[in-house]
A = this chain, B = another copy of it.
Amino acid sequence: MPRTTTANHEIREARRAKLLDAARKVFVRQGRAMTIADIAAEANVSQGLAYRYFTNKEAIFHALIEQVIEASPAELHHFLQMQGTPGERLALLVSQLFEGRRTYPEFFHLLDQGQIIETMPNDLRERVRDQGRALLELLRQLIVEAQQAGEVAQGDPDQLVIALTAYLEGMSWWILHNPEQFQQHAPSVEIALRLLKVPLEQK
């Protein structure tokens, strides 16, 4: 590749990354109401330039989701291989899922509601669904192992998967619904882990 083309490519990639960083910040502040103009202002570029990278708001949502999807499979895999008892690994996974929800509540609520999934290109939609299934399977596997180790309450592991994920979805809902109240009285991760009867001290 001639040098100028490579340089151009690098400039484009760097600008795209900068716009996505700005979009993530604006999205956390404004949620679905964000506009390309807000993102351009945050990134200190012209709207015209922003539109050369993303044709519309949906395209930006998809790119943000793509970033999360890229990051996740390695992380998920990690929880099966890392050190510690199954209960400890499960507690860590729940803490991280909980933190993700607290940091990007709009993002997860948007995914939970499913409308955004319908607007995605087919391959991205499939990857989002695969990722969702992989997370449910990982939760289930860790729960089963932790039950065998006596660290989690006995009973149907799928009930516990539903209970945990319902709780996480409800957290996103609460944060969006009444952020001031949530900020002052955010339930600790220890309360979420009570659903499984994993004492926090095991972490």
Contact = CB atoms under 8 A, between A and B. Distances in A.
Interface of A: 112, 114, 153, 155-156, 158-163, 165-171, 173-174, 177, 181-182, 184-188, 191-192, 194-195, 197
Most buried by B among A156, A167, A168, A182: A167
A158 B167 CA distance: 16
Contact of A114 (B156, B160, B161, B177): B177
Given A112-B173, A194-B197, A195-B195, A166 B167 contact: yes
Nearest to A194: B194
Contacts of A188: 155, 159
A187 B162 contact: yes
A interface SS class: helix
A185 B136 CA distance: 14
A170 B181 contact: no
A160 B195 contact: no
B174 A159 contact: no
B167 A184 contact: no
Contacts of A174: 162, 165-166, 169
Nearest to A136: B181
A162 B186 contact: yes
Nearest to A192: B163
Contacts of A194: 153, 194-195, 197
A162 B182 contact: yes
A58 to B, nearest CB: 20
Contacts of A168: 170
A167 to B, nearest CB: 5
Which 4 A-B residue pairs are closest in the complex by CB-CB distance?
A: A166-B170, A170-B170, A158-B185, A169-B170
